[in-house]
Structure 1
Amino acid sequence: MTESNGSKLSDGAAEAGAAARAASEAMPDWEKRFRAPRVGLPKWAEDAPDRSLFVSNVTGTFELYAWDRATGEQRQATDRPNGTTGGLLSPDGEWIWWFSDKDGDEFGVWMRQPFHGGPNEEATPGLDPSYPGGLALGRDGTAVVGRSTDKGGSTVHVARPDAEPVEIYRHEESAGVGGFSHDGTLIAIEHTEHGDAMHSAIRIVRTDGTTVAELDDTRGGTEELGLAAMGFAPVDGDSRLLVGHQRRGRWEPMLWDAATGEETALAVDLPGDLDADWYPDGSALLIEHSFQARSELWRYDLADGALSRVDTPEGTVSGALARPDGTVEFLWSSAAKAPVVRSTTGQVVLDPPPAPGGVGRAPDSVPVSDAWVDGPGGKVHALIQKPAGEGPFPTVFDIHGGPTWHDSDAFAAGPAAWVDHGFAVVRVNYRGSTGYGRAWTDALKHRVGLIELEDIAAVRDWAVASGLADPERLVLAGGSWGGYLTLLGLGTQPEAWALGLAAVPVADYVTAYHDEMEALKALDRTLLGGTPEEVPERFAASSPLTYVDDVRAPVYISAGMNDPRCPIRQVENYVERLERRDHPLEVYRYDAGHGSLVVEERVKQLRLEIAFAERHLGAGSGGKP
């Protein structure tokens, strides 16, 4: 009887495995790229480097996983319907901290659980739900918690074990936690008390909130320069903070001693933007060098200023950490190759946990090529992917969000899916994008949205003139700020676009301002020079709702019902105006926030967009169905 039951179980398992493999083989490549199991860069506990925390989508939802490198054990730590990606290990590796919001609304509290499993508990009892504003954990159990609400501005609290949290900072403008010194005596706070949310200053305070030092590059000149706290030296008694600055027209690191005020410039002669982190012993810095939509790693030795390249393939590094043994682990991908966590040892650091459904590694896509186009504000960089064959192709202009972000030579399942369906894809790093110097990023002020669309129009004209793009089948698409630019472009350039696909967009700028989270209100005041009541003409000029009656192209909109960044009410205002005209429109509303962490939801949304495009541009107009 036992043998018979065992045989049936084996047969059942084999049949299930065969069915999964058959389903995977029948699945189109574009869906496999979304469903393929992947992992993020594992973050290890500072004093227990064998304990790591990483994000994976292996269950179909992005969640946090604990990994004990000493035993090889991996354990799913969070399990929520809308996923979890915000997490941190305590320095001793004993606790996993994770942020618990409601259905993606980004408003919640920090929870924690033991590294090897156990019940979740509220990590900072006494603090009401809020938007997160940074978190830093000390070696004695102290937590430094940044928070913001819709009415109370920004606050920083110190929460010690078995004591009520104490507020040590409050201001009506945006601020957040920038770091906690190794010995737990100093706290770095990034703030924008000067009213410019694009350029932070840094204040160092003690745990009782008293000020130790201030670094503010917005003072004493006409140009406003931003600063970023990159972390205190990983050594007890060392008061040096690694700081990112823009004093030479791009992001680069320097050292600032909070105790003495001494600033130490670092001679890193590389073009483009530079990010940095400490090696664990404090003897060197790991430099992430970003230039022209690619990135690489370098080691900078503090003793002699020696700069040596860390071996990385061409493409994009999306995070890197130095290990105590001096090796470096990094998450790498390119437009053609799916992400993988690699090490300078030459090994793959972490494979995804076993996944149900039989989907293996994501299929390759096509590489990107570069286009540099003359625009009204200078050369505009665009990344091009196209299917096999000769153009002109139906073309999707896939516009990135942010706006202070940039597209890079990195793996992205969405653009790859459009290429599979016969579309060329153009991604534009318009003015306002990062990675091309401070002047390029800071150009985005007052004529918000209109500036970016001028650069997109220049690239669009190039794409048509070069024979890449079919002028009758141009799709403007994007999510978040890219969704905003999509709706604004459809109204201000109505003859240029055949179709618009806007995900989680700003659609009615005035209503969006009043409903969005407080930190984004501060950003909007910086970008537009005031509130809607103070500069109504600027908000009107930059709002898609102003031009909604000029829209000619069919419009597809997807929106999260719980989105705190691009709230649903302002989307509904725009939709109502289009519906009054009986305009070709499809709206998809889903129960999440600013996008979804559920893989099947992402697949569904793109499937709907592709079907909408093919329906309005002609069935199969993109080529391969």
Structure 2
Amino acid sequence: MTKRLQRDEASLWRSRFRAPILSCVQLASSNPSRGLVCLNKTGVFQLYAWDLMREALSTLTDAPEGVMHGLISPEGEYVTYFQDNQGNEIGRLVRVPFHGGAPEDLTPNLPPYSTFDYAFSPSGNVFGILLAKEGLFHLYCINLGPGGAIGAPRLIHHSAQALLGLSLSFGGEIVVAGSTEQREQLHISLTAYDTTSGNRIATLQDGAKDTLRGVAFSPISGDFRLLASTTRSGVERPLLWNPRTKERRDLEFNEIDGALLPVAWSADGRRLLLMQMNRAVQQLYLYDITDNRLTRLTHPSGTFGPLGGGTCFGINGDLFFRWQDATHPAEVIILDGKTGARKKSALNAGPAIPARPWRSITFQSSDGEPIQGWLALPEGDGPFPTILSIHGGPEMALTECFSVWSQAWLDHRFAFLTINYRGSTTFGRAFQEKIWGNPGYWEVEDLAAAHTWLVREGIANPNQIFLTGWSYGGYLTLLALGKYPALWAGGMAGTAIADWALAYEDSADTIKAYTDAFFGGSPVQRPEQYAASSPMTYAEQVKAPLLIFQGKSDTRTPARQIEFYEKKMRSLGKTIEVHWVDAGHFGIAAQVKQLILYQERMLQFAFEVLEVGGNQSGSLAKH
């Protein structure tokens, strides 16, 4: 194997990090000649207006800590994004004109808040916001008039339980919000409200263990059908619901395996774009509502999305997607709107840099549950030192993607495995909800089973397997080091949780509500479970060295609980190194130069551990 870090500035791993990354793209739904792009071509993620006719990008933001998400208005006149203080996710929504200008506050009379979701009506006349402040979730609507006029926010609904996801009808008459009110844990129902009076129009609920998610209203004036999904069958399936008439139409498609996710309406309201997710592999379909015809599209393999708002139906009905696979960085490609065949690339961040492929694998966990993962191998014969990477969330599924992190490890002749552990989405309701109320237990069981599989298959040396992850993946890195200390050579975590109860005290209101639902209660209500799920509880058992990167202004995985964890680990004589960054949860990953420093230190850390492991007289410094 490569015995040392490749320090050459022209090395492939550094070049991949420095190559611009296209993180999201949207088209304006009623003016698809305009779009919004998030790109880090300056070394920091910023928002750019995309003029498709001129094939030109123009800068909209220049925040030092970066801006990683925004929303283009349906007519393409404005771009809205959240402005906070160093990524602490407490601030306010602002907008800038498509052609640039100073940010304009959309809610000047509201105190600072945190928000999970905001959306436009398809006609662009009403803007909806879900925000959290003072321990409550609030649903507001704002009228948007001609000439850029902004109305005063109207409070439509508020709740002590989490409100998650919102959709507005074409003319802004109705807003539908997802809610955990009168539901168990994170199960969601949908409630429709009149945006003028605030009166409740209708509520859609399935069984006590089912979850409904709204996606988008029809783009046709006077058509009040909402495209949504339900887990009633055990996997996600699309449906159409009209809250005015209470009519519901389930689109079950029992012949399709895995989840079938609703994505978008066509501009004429006649077709739906659907995405199958089966064992973390995507397949797109078009469904004609009028003649009940489902068409499987013949598109390239890889990952499409995420969309992040707007539309993917472009001019002349073609489909625009952010696409990538393990060997091709993200770009915007155009697919034929009838067949799905690739037509051309509409926007790419630069030439591809050589990369190793991924392949899908499956193994059994401790209880026999099949676990899917993605494996990549370096050149040569194994066994190899191996990186077991853990995605964040946990509510996501990792599909085949271009990962500069994985390729850096592969360049240095480490094997790389990432898994969709219990709690990941699109593997079925039971799989996702297995961890609810008991976070950490089954996820760590799946990681331990991955260790067994890697060794049995001859891929990894049993004493040279490293854990790494960010956010929820960072949390699981710390937890697995304490619960199965004999398995791991070391751990590398970013934006991690070490103590759920301490983190809860310092979290934004949005995160507190989510955590309540996730655990089935607050730390006061379920103290034993919060302790059982916290890495702090198992600190004494940790044997492997640990490296952590943490943001000072993070309100999702706050700083104080990591400070306490570091102090406890040091008092126990454990090897721990913590790097503090002046950033929040997402800003910590917004700057390319920082990402290179993280990866460089992780490579150095791994080589130091391996050197000590191969030299009994050596010692890894306790930083």
Fold shared, TM-score > 0.5 on shorter chain? yes
Q: 1:162/1:113 Cα in 2 relative to 1: closer, same or farther (>3 Å)?
A: closer
CA displacement at 1:591 relative to structure 2: 0.9
CA displacement at 1:424 relative to structure 2: 0.8
Q: Which amino acid aligns with 1:332?
A: W
Of the candidates 278, 284, 300, which is equivalent to residue 291 of structure 1? 278
Question: Counterpart of 2:347?
Answer: 351
8 Å CA contact retained: 1:41, 1:330? no
8 Å CA contact retained: 2:115, 2:510? no
1:460 aligns with 2:451: yes
The separation in 2 between residues aligned to 1:231 and 1:162, in whole angstroms, is: 23
Alignment of 1:521-560 (within 5 A): 521-560=512-551
Q: Which amino acid aligns with 1:216?
A: Q
| RMSD between superposed Cα atoms in Å | 2.0
Q: 1:415/1:196 Cα in 2 relative to 1: closer, same or farther (>3 Å)?
A: farther
Of the candidates 47, 55, 72, which is equivalent to residue 64 of structure 1? 47
CA displacement at 1:312 relative to structure 2: 1.6
Question: Counterpart of 1:206?
Answer: 194
Question: Counterpart of 1:7?
Answer: none
Of the candidates 286, 302, 309, which is equivalent to residue 289 of structure 2? 302
The separation in 2 between residues aligned to 1:124 and 1:305, in whole angstroms, is: 43
Q: Which amino acid aligns with 1:119?
A: A
Q: 1:141/1:260 Cα in 2 relative to 1: closer, same or farther (>3 Å)?
A: closer
Alignment of 1:423-442 (within 5 A): 423-442=414-433
Aligned residues: 588
The separation in 2 between residues aligned to 1:312 and 1:285, in whole angstroms, is: 16
Q: Which amino acid aligns with 2:234?
A: G
8 Å CA contact retained: 2:435, 2:441? no
1:165 aligns with 2:135: no
Q: Aligned to 2:267, what secondary structure does the other structure show?
A: coil
1:494 aligns with 2:479: no
Q: 1:267/1:541 Cα in 2 relative to 1: closer, same or farther (>3 Å)?
A: closer
Question: Counterpart of 1:589?
Answer: 580
The separation in 1 between residues aligned to 2:466 and 2:531, in whole angstroms, is: 25
1:156 aligns with 2:147: no
Of the candidates 313, 325, 345, which is equivalent to residue 322 of structure 1? 313
Q: Aligned to 1:375, what secondary structure does the other structure show?
A: coil
8 Å CA contact retained: 2:385, 2:465? yes
Q: 1:619/1:583 Cα in 2 relative to 1: closer, same or farther (>3 Å)?
A: closer
The separation in 1 between residues aligned to 2:105 and 2:360, in whole angstroms, is: 48
Question: Counterpart of 1:258?
Answer: 243
1:179 aligns with 2:179: no
1:281 aligns with 2:274: no
1:469 aligns with 2:453: no
CA displacement at 1:367 relative to structure 2: 2.6
Q: Which amino acid aligns with 2:278?
A: F
CA displacement at 1:360 relative to structure 2: 4.3
The separation in 2 between residues aligned to 1:324 and 1:366, in whole angstroms, is: 33
Q: Aligned to 1:339, what secondary structure does the other structure show?
A: strand
The separation in 2 between residues aligned to 1:618 and 1:386, in whole angstroms, is: 21
The separation in 2 between residues aligned to 1:360 and 1:611, in whole angstroms, is: 28
8 Å CA contact retained: 2:165, 2:213? no
CA displacement at 1:521 relative to structure 2: 2.3
Q: 1:190/1:473 Cα in 2 relative to 1: closer, same or farther (>3 Å)?
A: same
CA displacement at 1:486 relative to structure 2: 0.8
Question: Counterpart of 2:36?
Answer: 53
Q: Aligned to 1:612, what secondary structure does the other structure show?
A: helix
The separation in 1 between residues aligned to 2:213 and 2:315, in whole angstroms, is: 25
Question: Counterpart of 1:3?
Answer: none
1:144 aligns with 2:128: yes
The separation in 2 between residues aligned to 1:464 and 1:343, in whole angstroms, is: 42
Tell me which moved more, 192-201 or 481-490: 192-201
Q: Which amino acid aligns with 1:572?
A: E
CA displacement at 1:25 relative to structure 2: 9.3
Of the candidates 322, 325, 346, which is equivalent to residue 334 of structure 1? 325
1:6-26 Cα offsets, whole Å, 9 max, x none, are: xxxxxxxxxxxxxxxxxx995
CA displacement at 1:282 relative to structure 2: 0.5
The separation in 1 between residues aligned to 2:109 and 2:348, in whole angstroms, is: 37
Q: 1:209/1:362 Cα in 2 relative to 1: closer, same or farther (>3 Å)?
A: farther
8 Å CA contact retained: 2:239, 2:251? yes
Q: Which amino acid aligns with 2:497?
A: V
Question: Counterpart of 2:607?
Answer: 614
Tell me which moved more, 318-327 or 580-589: 318-327
Tell me which moved more, 310-319 or 460-469: 310-319
8 Å CA contact retained: 1:369, 1:385? no
Question: Counterpart of 1:100?
Answer: 83
Q: 1:121/1:162 Cα in 2 relative to 1: closer, same or farther (>3 Å)?
A: closer
CA displacement at 1:43 relative to structure 2: 1.4
The separation in 1 between residues aligned to 2:355 and 2:59, in whole angstroms, is: 28
Q: 1:162/1:299 Cα in 2 relative to 1: closer, same or farther (>3 Å)?
A: closer
The separation in 1 between residues aligned to 2:150 and 2:459, in whole angstroms, is: 64
Q: Aligned to 1:548, what secondary structure does the other structure show?
A: helix
CA displacement at 1:197 relative to structure 2: 4.7
Of the candidates 209, 218, 225, which is equivalent to residue 224 of structure 1? 209
Q: Aligned to 2:329, what secondary structure does the other structure show?
A: coil
Alignment of 1:509-528 (within 5 A): 509-528=500-519
CA displacement at 1:415 relative to structure 2: 1.3
CA displacement at 1:554 relative to structure 2: 0.6
Query: TM-score, structure 1 length as denominator?
Result: 0.90
8 Å CA contact retained: 2:237, 2:252? no
Tell me which moved more, 552-561 or 157-166: 157-166
Q: Which amino acid aligns with 1:516?
A: S
CA displacement at 1:586 relative to structure 2: 1.1
Question: Counterpart of 1:393?
Answer: 384
The separation in 1 between residues aligned to 2:385 and 2:142, in whole angstroms, is: 55
Question: Counterpart of 1:9?
Answer: none
Question: Counterpart of 1:576?
Answer: 567
Q: 1:350/1:128 Cα in 2 relative to 1: closer, same or farther (>3 Å)?
A: farther
The separation in 2 between residues aligned to 1:245 and 1:134, in whole angstroms, is: 20
Tell me which moved more, 427-436 or 366-375: 366-375
Q: Aligned to 1:495, what secondary structure does the other structure show?
A: helix
The separation in 1 between residues aligned to 2:505 and 2:571, in whole angstroms, is: 24
The separation in 2 between residues aligned to 1:558 and 1:162, in whole angstroms, is: 41
Q: 1:253/1:324 Cα in 2 relative to 1: closer, same or farther (>3 Å)?
A: farther
The separation in 2 between residues aligned to 1:184 and 1:404, in whole angstroms, is: 29
The separation in 2 between residues aligned to 1:531 and 1:214, in whole angstroms, is: 27
8 Å CA contact retained: 2:555, 2:584? yes
CA displacement at 1:162 relative to structure 2: 5.0
Question: Counterpart of 1:356?
Answer: none
Q: Which amino acid aligns with 1:243?
A: A
Q: Aligned to 1:342, what secondary structure does the other structure show?
A: strand
Q: Aligned to 2:166, what secondary structure does the other structure show?
A: strand
8 Å CA contact retained: 1:232, 1:240? yes
Q: Which runs of 5+ in 2 are unaligned?
A: 1-6, 144-148, 337-341, 615-623
The separation in 1 between residues aligned to 2:306 and 2:518, in whole angstroms, is: 28
CA displacement at 1:331 relative to structure 2: 1.6
The separation in 1 between residues aligned to 2:306 and 2:407, in whole angstroms, is: 22
Q: Which amino acid aligns with 1:47?
A: S
The separation in 1 between residues aligned to 2:124 and 2:515, in whole angstroms, is: 39
Question: Counterpart of 1:13?
Answer: none
Q: 1:620/1:495 Cα in 2 relative to 1: closer, same or farther (>3 Å)?
A: closer
The separation in 2 between residues aligned to 1:620 and 1:347, in whole angstroms, is: 52
Question: Counterpart of 1:10?
Answer: none
Q: 1:426/1:183 Cα in 2 relative to 1: closer, same or farther (>3 Å)?
A: same
Q: 1:539/1:260 Cα in 2 relative to 1: closer, same or farther (>3 Å)?
A: same
The separation in 2 between residues aligned to 1:360 and 1:552, in whole angstroms, is: 43
